[in-house]
Amino acid sequence: MFDDLPHPDLVEMERILTDRLERVLEVEQEAAAIAARRLSTLRDRLLDVEDREGLAVVHTKDGSHVTGVLGVGLDHVEVTGELHRALIPFTEIVRVDLR
């Protein structure tokens, strides 16, 4: 914050204020992450998985499941595995396990 502080008390004050600022920023980031999780839709969460190229197991109403990398559309999810590619409408999804 301050360059070449002339007084030792100011050095200590800078350290205290910097520590407090860092703690406040951490708490605010955590609160923002919690709020985002609480307001996110299934599509939002699947987009997060797609962005990090994570794997997911998508379970459907008929009891089947497909494992693979996700591609997310407006009303469906595309699951691509080693030997398959499935397009699944959101209305058919009952559960998604994230890996």
pLDDT tens for the chain, 99 residues long, are 556 657 777 888 889 999 999 999 999 999 998 988 888 899 999 999 999 998 999 999 999 999 999 999 999 999 998 888 999 999 999 999 988
Among all chains, which residue has been given the structure tokens 């590619």? 85
Q: For position 82, what pLDDT does the model report? A: 84
Domain co-membership, 24 together with 51: no
Q: What is the spatial distance between Cα 3 and Cα 53, in angstroms, rounded to a whole number?
A: 43
CATH of the domain at 59: 2.30.30.100
Q: What is residue 43's DSSP assignment?
A: H
Domain co-membership, 94 together with 46: yes
- Residues shown for the chain: 99
Per the structure, the count of domains in the chain is 2
Q: For position 3, what pLDDT does the model report? A: 60
Domain co-membership, 46 together with 91: yes
Among all chains, which residue has been given the structure tokens 């923002």? 32
Range(s) of the domain holding residue 19: 1-39
Domain co-membership, 32 together with 6: yes
Q: What angle do CA 58, 60, 63 make, to 5 degrees?
A: 115
Q: For position 2, what pLDDT does the model report? A: 53
Domain co-membership, 16 together with 28: yes
Domain co-membership, 29 together with 70: no
Please give the model's pTM, rounded to 2 decimal places.
0.65
